[in-house]
Structure 1
Amino acid sequence: MARWSYPRPLSSEITPRSAWLSRRRFVAAVTSATVGGLAGHAQADALRTRPGPFQAKETPTSLADVTHYNNFYEFGMDKSDPSTYSAAFRPRPWTVTVDGLVSRPRVWDIDDLMAAMPIEERLYRMRCVEAWSMVIPWDGFPLATLLRQAEPLGNARYVAFESVLRPEQMPGQRTGLDSLQWPYVEGLRLDEAMHPLTLLAVGLYGQTLPTQNGAPIRLVVPWKYGFKGIKSIVRIRLVEKMPPTTWNRMNAAEYGFFANVNPDVDHPRWSQASERIIGAGGFFGGGRKKTLMFNGYGEQVAGLYDNMNLRTSY
């Protein structure tokens, strides 16, 4: 298949954050008054974001980099593959099943789900396992809000996530790594899932979530490595025992269940003590910085792991 080439904007061409926030507030106000009958209540609601409680201090990564430098192996192994090969992927219609050890299991239509949840804007530093990072303005809602509606039972200890299986639309599911088993699955401990930092994202930069970034709904857990951020979710299931996860199942010696950012524990094939900042010094990133424990969110989440050895529980 042919590779496409995308133009990369100069830094001087990237709209400052203050400008796009002002424009976004204007669009949101207009949208709430006029667009409901045209685009549907869910799309209007997605634009009416409010600032979330956790905002990264760093400058956001440009939209061009955020949407053209991705890990989404369902579309291919290269960072450009998701934006190149996801055009045929259809994120509507879509349903998300929430079931397992809950009192109120439900199958949600994605638009009903978006309309029912408080959509917030949060700036998170996303880190991937290759020790590169971005700062992304996600639009979404706390996973805890959805789980509370399902009413977890007393024996629920973990939350298992499952991604969509569509090999006819996702070429990586046909020709990707033989050692990866599809569909992609992930998991969190219930207390991690209920933490207010944990987000289900349905958009970024005030736009509907692009296909290459996990449309229509994905997980964002900012103190963990990027492979925990399962994309294109179709099922969320509460369970009693630790669920299997895709990369841990593929190579447990390299990819642990918890995947907390810990710069003191190297990946067997590379150091994780520093990170390459995408967009600094060119598209492929010339800037580096020291990796922070828990990706800089230690004050908020370290208490979740007080009795754990984070060198062995990685």
Structure 2
Amino acid sequence: MHVIRKPDWSLPETEATPPHLALDRRAALATLGGAMLGFGQIGAALADTNANANAKPGDRISDYPPSAARFDPERSLTPRHNVETYNNFYEFGLNKDIWRKAQKLPTEPWTIRIDGMVEKPFTISFGDLMKKVSTETRIYRHRCVEAWSLVVPWEGFPLADLVKLAKPLSGAKYLRFTTLSDPKVMPGLSIPFFPWPYHEGLTMAEATNELAFVGTGMYGAKMPRQDGAPIRVVLPWKYGFKSAKSLVRIEFVKEQPVTFWEKTSPDMYGFWANVNPKYPTLRWSQARERVIGTGEVVPTQIYNGYGKWVAPLYAGMKQDKKLFM
């Protein structure tokens, strides 16, 4: 069943950045040495792209259901072609042109293991999971740690619905997400300095927040392989690397999990990764951002503008760099 909900944080289609620039969560992280592209290189690569040059039917704003206006109303859809051909997915390689390699990602059959501190651990197929949830369209703005931003219309369902389905025990305080790790189809897994498989984490409160979302499609279509097919996390108030792709396992745990980028580069990335313009990373200022599709440079907002809904999650916590890296 597909239900169109209109919460007031949803963005209208007039604000949605087209799919070609809905770069995945790892696009936020081209950060290690010469092998990774910096913001300046990304900006240069996109500067020559006409925002409407590759538009196709289905990329039109009018093709999406109305949503309540909230942030950045002047932003528009970006052509799907770009998001399908300019991606980071390090399991397939370190360059941006990995979309062809990503087509080897086997998405059928697909199962997700739900375990840890739950009433009864289980494995469920993607198809069976979709029968248990009601999908909807949400339009979110996203902020990359590399200082660019975009707006994407997602198909999927609230992460809180999955938590409810899992029936976690009272002692479960965190969720730990694990991405597919298959060396037969993922050549990037041979990179020795990464702690594969990719893994991320959230607090239970974050996971059940109204904004936390499970993406199963984009732009009215199923999720492209290079963008995290068939199922991924979508967290609009955090830097993109928190939104784990191609999920195969969700664990409910008591202790705060140490995440992939914490292990890889602890001086750059922490557990929280909440957007805040006040705190630069070692490589990028976070004060301003390039709007993908227009090239406009605008001020960044704390929590990516979603503070009304998520700031209470961090009440009482020290508002320092640790909370925003």
Give the letter aligned to residue 310 of structure 1. Q
- Aligned counterpart for 2:249 among listed residues 235, 240, 244: 235
Give the letter aligned to residue 110 of structure 1. F
| Structure 2 CA distance for aligned equivalents of residues 270 and 61 of structure 1 | 24
Other-structure match for 1:101:
117
Which residues in structure 2 correspond to 1:236-255 (within 5 Å)? 236-255=250-269
Aligned-residue CA RMSD (Å): 2.2
Other-structure match for 1:298:
307
| Structure 2 CA distance for aligned equivalents of residues 163 and 275 of structure 1 | 28
Q: 1:103 to 1:52 in 2, by over 3 A?
A: farther
Other-structure match for 2:27:
none
Q: 1:52 to 1:217 in 2, by over 3 A?
A: farther
Deviates more, 1:233-242 or 1:103-112: 103-112
| Structure 2 CA distance for aligned equivalents of residues 100 and 60 of structure 1 | 40
| Structure 2 CA distance for aligned equivalents of residues 162 and 75 of structure 1 | 16
- Aligned counterpart for 2:85 among listed residues 62, 68, 84: 68
| Structure 2 CA distance for aligned equivalents of residues 145 and 254 of structure 1 | 32
Give the letter aligned to residue 105 of structure 1. P
Structure 1, unaligned runs of 5 or more: 1-7, 23-50, 281-285
SS in 1 for 2:162: helix
Aligned partners of 1:65 and 1:278 also within 8 Å: no
TM-score (norm 1): 0.81
Deviates more, 1:187-196 or 1:163-172: 163-172
Other-structure match for 2:270:
256
Aligned partners of 1:9 and 1:64 also within 8 Å: no
Number of residue-to-residue matches in the alignment? 272
| Structure 1 CA distance for aligned equivalents of residues 257 and 62 of structure 2 | 43
Other-structure match for 2:42:
none
Larger % of strand: which? 1
Give the letter aligned to residue 19 of structure 1. S
CA deviations 1:213-260 (Å, max 9, x no partner) are 001101111100011011110000100000121001111111010000
Q: How far apart are residue 9 of structure 1 and its match?
A: 6.9
| Structure 2 CA distance for aligned equivalents of residues 166 and 210 of structure 1 | 18
| Structure 2 CA distance for aligned equivalents of residues 218 and 235 of structure 1 | 11
SS in 2 for 1:276: strand
CA deviations 1:79-117 (Å, max 9, x no partner) are 222x13212111111100111111132211001111221
Give the letter aligned to residue 21 of structure 1. Y
SS in 1 for 2:92: coil
Which residues in structure 2 correspond to 1:22-61 (within 5 Å)? 57=73, 58-61=75-78
| Structure 1 CA distance for aligned equivalents of residues 54 and 214 of structure 2 | 30
Q: 1:53 to 1:71 in 2, by over 3 A?
A: farther
Which residues in structure 2 correspond to 1:57-206 (within 5 Å)? 57=73, 58-81=75-98, 83-174=99-190, 176=191, 178-206=192-220
CA deviations 1:41-82 (Å, max 9, x no partner) are xxxxxxxxxx7889754423331232223221111222222x
| Structure 1 CA distance for aligned equivalents of residues 76 and 85 of structure 2 | 18
SS in 1 for 2:146: coil
| Structure 1 CA distance for aligned equivalents of residues 163 and 111 of structure 2 | 16
Give the letter aligned to residue 64 of structure 1. H
| Structure 2 CA distance for aligned equivalents of residues 163 and 196 of structure 1 | 23
SS in 2 for 1:11: coil
| Structure 1 CA distance for aligned equivalents of residues 136 and 300 of structure 2 | 27
Give the letter aligned to residue 11 of structure 1. N
- Aligned counterpart for 1:19 among listed residues 62, 69, 72: 62
SS in 2 for 1:85: helix
CA deviations 1:139-197 (Å, max 9, x no partner) are 011111011122111111000001111112112112x4x32111100000110001121
Structure 2, unaligned runs of 5 or more: 1-48
SS in 1 for 2:292: strand
Q: 1:10 to 1:247 in 2, by over 3 A?
A: closer
| Structure 1 CA distance for aligned equivalents of residues 64 and 202 of structure 2 | 32
| Structure 2 CA distance for aligned equivalents of residues 147 and 202 of structure 1 | 16
